[in-house]
Amino acid sequence: MVKVEFKLNGRSVRPSDIANQLEKAMLNQVQEGIKKRLKSVRDPETGAAPTVTVTGRSLDNLSFEVSGSPALIEEAKRRLE
């Protein structure tokens, strides 16, 4: 008999939990990707970092909103494209 194991982010996951764990892993990847792209983006006047709000009903349909000064929003959007 073939044994199948699932591991996500180094953790074992039961098949009955796989959908939820996959969603968590995918959202973590989205979050880390945003942080990586925007880690050095700061408002030129205040030094503030942007705020990114990710919304959606499912992982297939996410939208991103960047908050901050106009210059900060413009640079953040440029880096996220």
The domain total for the chain is 1
For 8-66, how does the pLDDT look when each residue is reduced to its tens digit (9 = 90+)? 566 676 656 656 777 778 877 888 888 899 889 999 999 999 988 887 766 667 778 88
Please provide residue 9's backbone torsions phi and psi, each rounded to the nearest 5 degrees: 50, 40
| Predicted confidence band of residue 1 (pLDDT cuts 50, 70, 90) | very low
Q: d(Cα 67, Cα 57) in Å, to the nearest integer?
A: 21
Query: Is 39 within a domain?
Result: yes
- 72 versus 13: which is more confidently predicted? 72
76 in a structural domain: yes
Residue 7: the pLDDT is 64
Is it the case that residue 78 has pLDDT exceeding 80? yes
Domain containing 24 equals 6-80
Give every CB contact of residue 21 below 8 A, 6+ residues apart in sequence: 6, 8, 11, 13
Cβ-proximal residues to 31 (8 Å cutoff; 6+ apart), any chain:
54
Q: Given this model, what pLDDT does residue 79 score?
A: 92
Within a domain: 1: no
Q: Does any domain span residue 64? A: yes
